[in-house]
Amino acid sequence: MQIFLKKSKISAFSELKITGSKSESNRVLLLQALYEGLTISNLSNSDDSQLMQKAIASKDDTVDIHHAGTAMRFLTAYFATRVGKSTTLTGSERMQERPIKILVDALNSLGASISYTKKEGYPPLLIQGKALSKSVVRLKANVSSQYISALLLIAPTLQHGLTLHLEGEITSTPYINMTLSLLSDLGVQSTFESNTITVQPFSGLVDKKFTVESDWSSASYFYSIVALSPVGTQINISAYKPNSLQGDAVLKDIYQKLGVESTFESTVLSLKKADTPLIKKLTLDLANAPDIAQTIAVTCLGLQLDCDLTGLHTLKIKETDRLVALQNEIKKLGTSIEITNDSLHLKSPSLLRSGVHIATYNDHRMAMAFAPLALKTEFCIDDAEVVSKSYPDFWEDLSALGFEMN
């Protein structure tokens, strides 16, 4: 599906309700599978969370999670602990190119039985579920925090809990803290000191209703829209928490530099274009929130600001190599962009080209990050249906704001 975005002007005031956080939803879905009595509201309607639910409920020997990277990591740990159940866990062609050896090695060192059915170090995986007998493991911490969270989510079910020694610089710490906070809400005791995380065993009864906060990474696109709009434009989005567990909540501080003011009234987050940014260049380390890099780069492009973003090493193992994808597509719009293994450096043009086709690379964030640029120029988004991975209502919500598309 192609969507042609005309150069648009949005309403001065709009309100939207955003679906639940994919990150929180996938974590609490796994905890719900492990602990009866946990109920969930405001669950994400994303493809990823629906695939997670379907996989957990499946009685089949083979589970296909398609493009859902978080589900692949979390379910690898989950199925490893399902005593007596044999599962082949597979995914899309791209998923079979995304490394998982670090997590598999860690689980096998705890006593799991996981092997590769095709290429060493990559899905598909053959998982023979069993009781994991050991409780201490070492893990490289600078590749993906999802490996760490996968282990933490099953840790309370292990007989002796888990002591996790993290090696190297820790990536995306807020997402690790999110996992530990959710465990704490259930009653699980844990500590996170220096590079060691300890989780105590927990087998208590759970009687808890968990309300998932709306997704901050989805909010990023509305921050971008407001930043690219005239002063005075306001969009209210819900339901958000001032003290969010989500790492992408750092958007509040980042976009303040780009003229967007964030205020809360209960769970309603108001985004208002307060002034024109005074800076000529935005420099950020996004090691703790790499998923918002695409949105920020495109915002800077639309504001004609130079941009240096670092801490982006995890973007190379996402749905696509996001750094290469960004470079390819931003160049089409007439600007200079350089990338390294963990950074991007944007020189913004004085004039944006129009009528170009933006490829999405099976990556939901590529489609959504570029869409706000329709406030500045017209262009086409190819394979626009990819947004369903995390935000199925995205195009409808943009239309409600006043974006013109066909």
Checking DSSP bridges between strand 136-140 and strand 113-116, what pairing results, if any?
unpaired
Active-site residue flag, 291: yes
- Whole-angstrom distance, CA of residue 298 vs CA of residue 381: 14
- Whole-angstrom distance, CA of residue 249 vs CA of residue 262: 11
- Whole-angstrom distance, CA of residue 270 vs CA of residue 288: 24
Q: DSSP secondary structure string, 274-329?
A: -S----SEEEEE-TT-GGGHHHHHHHHHHHT-EEEEE--GGGGGSSS-HHHHHHHH
Catalytic option among 47, 105, 248, 291:
291
- Whole-angstrom distance, CA of residue 274 vs CA of residue 256: 9
Tokens describing residue 234: 């306001």
- Whole-angstrom distance, CA of residue 165 vs CA of residue 181: 19
- Whole-angstrom distance, CA of residue 113 vs CA of residue 81: 10
- Whole-angstrom distance, CA of residue 88 vs CA of residue 136: 26
Position of tokens 């509305």? 222
- The catalytic residues are 291
